[in-house]
């Protein structure tokens, strides 16, 4: 008999973490990400509506009127409203992310900007100090 | 002030999975999570964790604090008035307590050839203008802490994914005016475990303690990869 502590493992070793299916419920950031991904669903519905309308327009006036009536139903309006909000949300994230992915301000400009800021601060200091002396 | 803190303990020879253990520590306005861990170690010398610089520059003290990747030395108890749980960095194998196996991370860094590749033989220094420096400087601030890997669900799901820091490092050298190695790095970035595995969750940039913005680097990498593809179409 050994006096070693009893091990409940066959072989000692590192613990391999497993990612469970609901990882995205873990915290707010992942839930927001999933919401962003889910906004594609109402947008798909909106595109479907649009294509169907175009098709109806090509068929007959009665079909077109039918499409208009379909579009006026409250649940369709609600879903399209959702799609509208989703696209606004996307526009917002797009404008936030775009400058980071495509740094449009070329480095030269940024450095010129830094020099300009330095000049302005220096000029300001000279004026203030000059006035004071 | 007395504060209770839970730490995920794992003993590789005894445990099947990490278990939480509660400790009491003394905390004031300046007590960091790392300070708290050091206090716990005084009470219980069997606790294992990594640290070195205490000033957010060595990148070795990464842990999960209430499920979010953080540097222990840059995170303060004062910001956690309620519960505080410290566990090992997510998505890495746990060796013991808060110590993880960083080997996969280091391998991924290595895979992108993170050094200047330049065949020119010259005794002259390679001069660089401030504008040329500004192009990659932000991406050169990475301290290899690995927090971004613990924040990345794509790395969690596919450990082969090169991941935020490695792709950022590739981008850092690709943008360097002294470097000529872009062609050698692009196959890695274009491959199935390269930039296109990223779905822009963006959490990596949020947790980065050095504001490196790896998510931006990866998506710049996507632009470069797409450009590379178009050029290769015309070449063949
Ligand atoms: S990019 Fe940021 S979070 Fe990722 S390893 Fe570098 S310093 Fe750490
Ligand atoms: S101890 Fe060096 S980064 Fe925290």
For position A79, which CATH number holds?
Answer: 1.20.1300.10
Which residue's CA is the closest to the ligand 2 atom numbered 3?
B56
Q: ipTM score here?
A: 0.82
In this predicted model, what pLDDT tens digit does every residue of B14-67 receive, in sequence order? 999 999 999 999 999 999 999 999 999 999 999 999 999 999 999 999 999 999
Q: Which residues of chain A have pLDDT under 70?
A: 1-11, 104-108, 133
Contact B152, B164 (CB under 8 A): yes
The preferred substitution site among B92, B112, B165, B201 for testing ligand 1, maximizing ligand atoms within 8 Å of CB, is B165
Task: Give whole-number Cα distances, A42 to A8, A55, A92, in Å.
Answer: 51, 20, 17
Tell whether A5 is within 8 A of chain B (Cβ): yes
Residue A61 lies in a domain: yes
Could you give the domains of chain B?
2-100 (3.10.20.30), 103-235 (1.10.1060.10)
Nearest chain A Cα distance for residue B51, angstroms: 20
Half-sphere exposure of B83 (CA within 13 A, CB side): 9
d(CA B186, CA B192): 12
Q: Which stretch of A31-40, A90-99, B131-140, B183-192 has the lowest confidence by average pLDDT?
A: A90-99
How large is the C-alpha radius of gyration of chain B? 20
User: Residue B142: CB within 6 Å of ligand 1?
Assistant: yes
Contact B135, B78 (CB under 8 A): no
In whole angstroms, what separates CA B67 from the centre of its chain?
Answer: 16
pLDDT for the residue numbered A7: 44
Residue A7 with chain B: CB contacts under 8 Å: 13-14
The pLDDT-based confidence of B168 (bands split at 50, 70, 90) is very high
Which of A16-30, B5-19, B122-136 has maximum average pLDDT?
B5-19
State chain B's mean pLDDT as an integer. Answer: 95
Residues of B with CB under 8 A from a CB of A: 10, 12-18, 67-68, 90-95, 101, 130-132, 134-135, 153, 156-157, 199-203, 206, 213, 215-216, 219-220, 222-223
pLDDT for the residue numbered B22: 97
Q: Quote the domain boundaries for residue A44.
A: 23-83
Beta carbons of B91 and A23 less than 8 Å apart:
no
Calculate helix-pair angle for B182-190, B214-235, nearest 10 degrees.
100
Residue A46 lies in a domain: yes
The count of structural domains within chain A is 1
The pLDDT-based confidence of B98 (bands split at 50, 70, 90) is very high
Helix, strand, coil % over all residues of chain B, rounded to 5: 40, 15, 45
Other beta carbons within 10 angstroms of residue B200's beta carbon come to 19
> Which tokens in the block code for residue A107?
């480095």
pTM: 0.84
How large is the C-alpha radius of gyration of chain A? 30
């Amino acid at each position: 008999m050994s006096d070693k502590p009893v091990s409940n493992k066959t072989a000692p070793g590192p613990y391999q973490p497993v990612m469970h299916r609901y990882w995205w419920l873990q915290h707010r950031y992942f839930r927001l990400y999933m919401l962003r991904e889910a906004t594609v669903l109402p947008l798909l519905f909106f595109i479907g509506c649009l294509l169907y309308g175009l098709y109806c327009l090509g068929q007959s006036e009665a079909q077109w009127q039918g499409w208009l009536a379909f579009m006026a139903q409250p649940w369709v309006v609600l879903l399209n409203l959702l799609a509208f909000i989703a696209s606004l949300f996307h526009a917002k994230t797009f404008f936030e992310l775009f400058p980071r992915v495509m740094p449009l301000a070329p480095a030269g400009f940024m450095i010129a900007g830094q020099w300009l800021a330095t000049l302005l601060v220096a000029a300001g200091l000279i004026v203030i100090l000059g006035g004071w002396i | 002030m007395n504060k209770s803190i839970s730490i995920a303990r794992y003993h590789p020879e005894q445990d099947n999975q990490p278990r939480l253990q509660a400790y009491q520590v003394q905390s004031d306005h300046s007590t960091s999570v790392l300070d708290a861990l050091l206090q716990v170690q005084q009470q219980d010398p069997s606790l294992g964790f990594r640290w070195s610089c205490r000033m957010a520059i060595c990148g070795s003290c990464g842990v999960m604090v209430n499920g979010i990747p953080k540097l222990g030395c840059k995170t303060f108890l004062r910001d956690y008035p309620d519960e505080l749980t410290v566990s090992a960095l997510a998505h890495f194998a746990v060796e013991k307590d808060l110590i993880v196996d960083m080997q996969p991370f280091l391998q991924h860094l290595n895979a992108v050839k993170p050094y200047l590749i330049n065949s020119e033989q010259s005794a002259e220094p390679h001069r660089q203008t401030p504008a040329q420096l500004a192009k990659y400087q932000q991406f050169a601030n990475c301290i290899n802490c690995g927090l971004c890997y613990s924040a990345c669900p794509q790395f969690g799901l596919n450990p082969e994914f090169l991941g935020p820091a490695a792709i950022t490092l590739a981008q850092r050298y690709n943008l360097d005016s002294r470097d000529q190695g872009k062609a050698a790095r692009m196959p890695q970035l274009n491959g199935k475990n390269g930039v296109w595995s990223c779905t822009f969750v963006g959490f990596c940039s949020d947790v980065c303690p050095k504001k490196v913005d790896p998510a931006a680097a990866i998506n710049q990498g996507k632009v470069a990869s797409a450009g590379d593809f178009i050029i290769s179409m015309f070449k063949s």
